[in-house]
Amino acid sequence: MRIGIIGSRGIPNRYGGFEEMAEQISVRLVKMGHSVFVYNGHRHPYAEKEFQGVRIIHKYDPEHRFGTVGQFIYDFNQIIDCRWRKFDVILQLGYTSSGIWQWLLPKNVKVVSNMDGLEWKRTKYSPLVQKFLLRSERWVARRSDLMVADNQEIERYLHDKYGGQCVFIPYGAEVIKKADPSVLEPYHVKPGEYNLIIARMEPENHIKEVLEGVIQSESGRIMLVMGNLETPHGQWLTSKYKDSRIRFLHAEYNKDIVNNLRAHCHLYFHGHSVGGTNPSLLEAMACGAPVAAHENNFNKTVLKENGFYFKTPEDVSALLDKELTSEELSSITRKNTNAIREHFGWKSIAEQYELIFGQVRI
């Protein structure tokens, strides 16, 4: 098959979840014998035209100049280019800025859309933007020959709301082979003596609740908070929480560093609440980090009983002050790494995408 992947910022991953997925499945699909093309923004640091057998198509992406408007232009440029590539399948990642261009997608191509999370519920957006995103979701759902949900809760939502074809294929992760405590040295922390948050600084990720819990707790452990601190919410958090136990760190994209920070923490706090299967949750599980997740159905369908849950600062404070035995922590982390191997491996996920690409009907 000739497969085009649109909707990400490009590969190799330098940004986030969709980019990681595009990289992981595209390389594997090439090894399965398919011709795979991934669209990259023109400013992506990887300037080559091929990556491990995957063809790279660079398109103008003016997000650095125009902000959000630039994302709409980038999506337009990708979709227009798709019209003459003669793809058998287009895998569309997300819908936030591509929905308005659905009518431009080629008519004689299978369109499979990964519908991401409930973007229109994100509180960082104004009511008007939320309304637009809900409409954009509808446009993409109606144009897609098949919708993909990476979480069973999202699958149920899409099926109930739009009907049509929708399948569940999870996001993926890889269990790290060996942790290296020397990576912690620049951060002046020791294994098991710090807690960790790695997230985008957005209200629906409940970082505020976690940090309020730190303030209320008696625990002396350091809380490392890593993310895009330059956002308005990030700036507000850094100005508000001055406790010596809270250390803010700028986002890090080196996988080895991030994985080792996760692997050696006492508790990893995952506050995401409006997405589907959030990549950082699976990656924390794959690193053997004991996870304390925001209590919602999205997180529960992934973590199940193999972790801790919170909703309020008081919940967080109680977790921080609780004496957790090494046996208790080892048991849940072992179950989580086993779950990654059994249900969330990238090889299996690439095979599932290959299967639906071959079965979907226009």
Report d(CA 362, CA 352) in Å as an integer.
18
For 224-264, the pLDDT digits (tens) are: 999 999 999 999 999 999 999 999 999 998 889 999 999 99
Q: List alpha helices for 264-325, DSSP H.
A: 279-286, 297-303, 313-321
pLDDT at 38: 98
For 310-353, the pLDDT digits (tens) are: 999 999 999 999 999 999 999 999 999 999 999 999 999 999 99
Report d(CA 284, CA 291) in Å as an integer.
7
Report d(CA 170, CA 328) in Å as an integer.
27
111 pLDDT exceeds 90? yes
Provide the pLDDT confidence category of residue 15 given band limits of 50, 70 and 90.
confident
The whole-angstrom distance between residue 250's C-alpha and the CA centroid of its chain comes to 18
Report which secondary-structure segment, H or E, holds 168. Answer: strand 166-168
Cα pseudo-dihedral 266, 271, 272, 273, rounded to 10: 140
Burial of 254 (0-12, 13-18, 19+ CB in 10 A): exposed
277 pLDDT exceeds 80? no
> What's the maximum distance between 2 C-alpha atoms anywhere in the chain?
62
Q: Would the CATH topology of 2-171+345-359 be identical to that of 181-343? A: yes
101 pLDDT exceeds 90? yes
Three-state secondary-structure class, residue 223: strand
pTM of the entire predicted model? 0.87
57 close to 51: Cβ distance less than 8 angstroms: no
Report d(CA 339, CA 345) in Å as an integer.
9
Report d(CA 262, CA 191) in Å as an integer.
10
Report d(CA 46, CA 299) in Å as an integer.
33
Three-state secondary-structure class, residue 35: strand
- How many CB atoms are located within 10 Å of the residue 177 CB? 5
Q: 170 preceded by cis ω (within 30°)? A: no
- Please give the class, per CATH, of domain 181-343: alpha beta
Give domain limits for the chain: 2-171+345-359, 181-343
pLDDT cut 90: percent of the chain above it: 86
Average pLDDT score, the chain: 94
Provide the pLDDT confidence category of residue 164 given band limits of 50, 70 and 90.
confident
Identify which has the larger pLDDT, 289 or 118.
289
**Do you know the residue count of the chain?**
362
| 325: amino acid identity, one letter | T
Report the phi/psi class of residue 10: left, alpha or beta, with left for phi > 0 and alpha for psi in -120 to 50: left
pLDDT at 274: 75
The CATH superfamily assigned to 2-171+345-359 is Glycogen Phosphorylase B; (3.40.50.2000)
Residue partners of 259: CB distance under 8 A and separation at least 6: 176, 179, 283, 287
Provide the pLDDT confidence category of residue 72 given band limits of 50, 70 and 90.
very high
Per-residue pLDDT, averaged over 71-76, amounts to 98
